[in-house]
Structure formats: structure tokens, C-alpha cells
Amino acid sequence: QVQLQESGPGLVKPSETLSLTCAVSGYSISSGYYWGWIRQPPGKGLEWIGSIYHSGSTYYNPSLKSRVTISVDTSKNQFSLKLSSVTAADTAVYYCARENSGSYSLGYWGQGTLVTVSS
């Protein structure tokens, strides 16, 4: 059974960099699939942030591209998100997920982690 678990600071100061990690169990990232990050501001809808292939190829939301970096560490079986120059608008629950092969649908999700941007 594939399981994903987000971790990272729950509070980040404005203008700093948000960093989250998604630990994967039950499947080896190096075996394939796209792995993605999605966020949801409190009371609002879902927003796709970006995805990374096991080989390291990345695809980002054009509206966030200048501030986002997604990387993969196959030795630790995890992938990470960095979002720079954060503001209060980046306050959200951040989810990591695995895309189904050839479908671009998100079949496995982490439980999500709330990140608040505040001084």
C-alpha cells in the first residue's frame, strides 16, 4: 500500500522560504511515476503547484514557477518542495500526491500539512 507523509515547519515568516518533504512508503520513487504537490488555502479550492518525475524532470504551475523548486531524493525515497519569498497568500494546507501512470490523475495523497505564513 502506497503511503505519503508530508513534514516540515508549520510556521514560516514572510519573505522566507517554505520547505516541505514528502516521505513515500510502500513504493520506490525510483521505479517511476510523477510525484506532485498541491495546496489548499483555508476555505478555498485546490491549486496544483508542480510535479516531478522519478528521473528529476519537473513541471510547475506557471503562476508559481519563479518561486518553486521540487526535487527528489531517491536514496531517502522522498521528494521535496521549496517555495521562496512567501507571503500570507501562501498560507495553505500542502498535500503531496502520486500521479497514476499515463493519466495525470492523483491516486494517492498524503494527509496534508498546514503551513501558516506569519511574522
Partner 1 sequence: QSALTQPASVSGSPGQSITISCTGTSSDVGGYNYVSWYQQHPGKAPKLMIYDVSNRPSGVSNRFSGSKSGNTASLTISGLQAEDEADYYCSSYTSSARVFGGGTKLTVL
**Binding residues for partner 1 (CB under 8 A):** 36, 38, 45-48, 51, 59-63, 95, 100, 103-107, 109-112
Angle among Cα 96, 49, 109 to the nearest 5 degrees reads 20
CB of 110 to partner 1, least distance (A): 7
Nearer to partner 1, 16 or 47 (CB): 47
CB of 13 to partner 1, least distance (A): 26
CB of 35 to partner 1, least distance (A): 13
- Give Cβ neighbours of residue 53 (< 8 Å, ≥ 6 apart): 33, 34, 35
Q: For the chain, what is the total number of helices (H) and then of strands (E)?
A: 0, 11
